[in-house]
Structure 1
């Protein structure tokens, strides 16, 4: 980790930076804006930027919510033993709320509905934030059952917790075997013999990639989690100095549905989250990390079955020249009798109307690109690229067919954080304590 004392008096504190923001003198840029300047050959000096807003959006399995709400009048039952929310199992407790008619529940983001295999905790949390009503099926400790309805507006307490989010970088995956595999790293059975590649991570936009030493991100750092103001509570599970990730929380009441949701994989429903994190540029060493672009950020390609490393590539291999958004061109739709895209979209953003037309829901679209590789008519368009990798003595060119990170909305999240910082709505906080590893 670098030390501000190394930089010959060139340093500033978080309170000093916030004071510049308050006076309207601060220079705030997004990570994407910084990278654009670097690629254009522009020099970015310590004096040119006070805060960089970073972001990442992707599948982040380590998620749960704690919900508390009334379901009946007091003394109508002793306590709940089993609860389903839209079919998704919840764990009653830890407080039993005996005879109060109130439920305290823990719901895992990766929990799967008992009635719909394509619905999980991520879908449930998004629908709550959208203001939709939720069915509550309760089995009491006496063995009786009843059904109620609730919504986020009727929940005094509804908080989302991250146990493993915003990892510095993740991995790219291939299946070297002959047989297809069901996995959380693909929306369909993952084809074998190196026929396709999937990956996770927003590269140069990732918060911890811009602060790999966790000098500015620590316990108590204020962030936006799915658009709601929240805080870092420390490092997440399986976090390490070389591969750190974050734990944190935010209130569901302030979240934005467009930043969250469920993502259907061949291994079952997963959950999407979005983090936006400000990086105060306190000394030139912090800026050095921020100036790194995708091609300088390593990405490990592994065998999806055993996570065995196959070769090293970079985020430049998967993001440089790629289209961040998927476009739908209805004029190119062949209106196939059996559409290869309808029903396989992991966000269910592509649906066939009763008239046989295909509709693309941009609000739900994750820009994963699966539709691009599956549509016979080429009606879904995006450059996803391919990766060259030498494995087993052979040079292979492997097509990217699925992205499990949505960089387009990560860019948007960083832009929104920048606006909130400049307006004074979001105030930058120094960590209460550094994140330390065993």
Structure 2
């Protein structure tokens, strides 16, 4: 309660001081600015006036300036501050202009202009000049504030761009004779971009993009940039660079429109890309043979079935494993057993078409997906070719190892409509071969092959 009372007392005192300042300022300004008006009116009525002492006049001016400063600071936090400030400034400008006009009328006057007319003309001219100043001054202030704000924003931009961990470029658009943007000119490069390009920014500013970086034409990136300017839609993507300045590098690029130009932010994602690709490889490929694994096989098989459904085609699915592979491991060791599996995988790839999929789904078991075959006889012939190719001796460490394979074959849609069913039918056919003594081919739905 005591604090609130003290705040009211302080506020009342501030209000009283401000009111006194306004009263004194108004009185001083009114006395100064109406001086010559009274002189002119007095001369017209034949009334004598005593001239205002120069010292008192100067003191009044100083008082006006001090009071103006006081009032301006009092109104700084008020919404009406701007209006009040400019009105008070106009009074002082009126006074200054009126003093200058006084000196001017001391020059030789035209014969048609009386002394009283000159005095009134002086006052009216001063009022007009002060009114014009009142209109112009806010615009000048706005321009000054706008310029200061622009400098501040520019400083912020430079601080952010110069310290950015990304490469950052600004490009001005270069129009053709029709006014369409056909190329771009370097206008800003940050330090990271300098290091990426291996040159100083002074060597690039003002240069044409396609002349300095021809890869943007080969990669089609220049078209992306033009599209951003044409549509205003930002572009984000990954770009592979391999030229004279930037070797084997993946960049993540973001481009936004900036007037008739563009702002480009890029970041080196080479290591991230390699790591992502490696993780993808491990998730979809067998590390020993480099063949697709079970995950990728299922995707390829389902794609082949979907394509066959749309085009009324057939799909062949082979499952095979190496006969007595455990004995190979026991006799020669796991290292040579792995070498045998790698050799079998390689031979399978050499036996089938490039459009076919050869996968290792675990242990010594392999799967081949063959879409769009011409006839059942072609598939049968390919199956026996697989059996014969796998039976050839495999040279390892100065000796040869001979293995055979058992192959089961299921056809879509004859043996099943889905991937799981086809794999199950092909697996059952493979075990029929093993039951007959291995090293052969069995087609689903046939008694023997």
Shared fold (TM-score, shorter chain, > 0.5): no
Larger Rg: 2
Q: TM-score range by the shorter chain?
A: under 0.3
Q: TM-score, normalised by structure 1?
A: 0.18
Larger helix share, 1 or 2: 2
Larger strand share, 1 or 2: 1
